[in-house]
Each structure stands twice: as structure tokens, then as C-alpha cells.
Amino acid sequence: ELLPISWTEKFSYRLVGSSFMHSRSSLSESQREWLVECFEQGMGSQAAARVVGVSRDATRALYRRFQLHGRLCLVEKPTKQQYPFETKKEVVERHLAGETKMDLAREFGLSSDRLVEVWSRKWRKDGDEALRPKPKGRPRGSSKPKVLTEEEKLRRQVERLEAENAYLKKLRDLRNQGHA
């Protein structure tokens, strides 16, 4: 049974200077706050999702962040955190040695314990290279075209004219077959 709490009132708890609505979240600000209130009352993610009437997956993700960061799970960080290769490697090694994802996420200050899972999966598939940072942006285009010699220009022009001539001969033959 739920502890007595008014679910319709606006929550007075606010974090000064923070943004509550996560841009990729399917949950509204009030739903997220309501879910955190449920978590603080001792509910698990499934029970809270039923009470609020929202997706279990989104609630589960919020619950895991709540377990790591408490009420700070409501605050969206202004930029996506990037972790150095050495940190990722150490986290993966310790996870494979048997430490829990949640403990590692807490110790290393990760935004989510799912990062440990993702890094471990990538490392198993592609090794150390999978954990290294990838170059950003669009790949460079091909280098400038090489300058053609006069002989090469003439050779290409001859090839083009021969192809054009063959096309026109074939067209003429097809037209003649149609009239015969």
C-alpha cells in the first residue's frame, strides 16, 4: 500500500539552476519528479510505473540512475560525459573480474551502470580498439585529383568518343530493325 502522499500537488523540491526535462526522455518533468517521489517511498520501478501510468522501460532507466545518484537523477548535465580509454579499460577489467556494474558506476562516477555493460560488450567483440575514442566529424574527402598529362587527356577523349560512336551505331541498327 502507498504511504499517504498527495500525488497531484506540485513538488516543492527544486535544484537551483538545473534543467529537469531530459531531451531524449519520454517522461515529462512532473512524471519524473513523481517517479522519484515513489522511489523515495520505497517503491520499485515496476510499481512506480504502474502508479504514474508510464512506460516500464523509461521508469527502469530512471530508477537505475536514482539508485546511483539519488535526486540528482533529475538534473540533466549540460554536456555528454566522455571517459578516457584508461578509465573504460579499468572498468571493463574489474567488471569481468566479478565486480558489479552498480558498484563500478558509483566508484567511477558514471552516469549509468549501463555504460559498464556497453563497454564490456564492445570490448568482448572488438578488444581495446572498441574503447578508444573515435574521430569526430565527417571523414576527409579524397585528395585533389592528379593533373593529367596531355597524352592521358587525349586517351580519355578517344575512349569517350569510341563509346559514343558504338552507342550511335547500336541506335542506328535498332532503328533499322524496326523499319524492316
Residue 174 grid cell: 535498332
The pLDDT of residue 69 is: 72
DSSP character at residue 15: -
Instruction: List, for residues 52-102, the tens digit of each pLDDT value.
Output: 888 778 888 877 887 777 777 666 665 677 889 999 999 999 999 999 998
Per-residue pLDDT, averaged over 30-52, amounts to: 82
* Residue with the three cell numbers 564490456: 120
Give the integer Cα–Cα distance in Å for 81 and 88: 12
Which one-letter amino acid corresponds to residue 16? V
- Residue 18: pLDDT above 50? no
* Per-residue confidence (pLDDT) for residue 17, from 0 to 100: 38
Residue the block writes with cell 515513489: 38
The angle, 0 to 180 degrees and rounded to 10, between the axes of the packed helices 85-96 and 114-126 is 90
pLDDT value of position 37 = 83
Whole-number percent of the chain with pLDDT over 70: 81
Q: What is the signed CA dihedral for 64, 68, 69, 70, rounded to 10 degrees?
A: 70
Spatial CB neighbours of 51, under 8 Å, sequence gap ≥ 6: 2, 7, 38, 43
Tens digits of per-residue pLDDT, 134-170?
Answer: 888 888 877 777 888 999 999 999 999 999 999 999 9
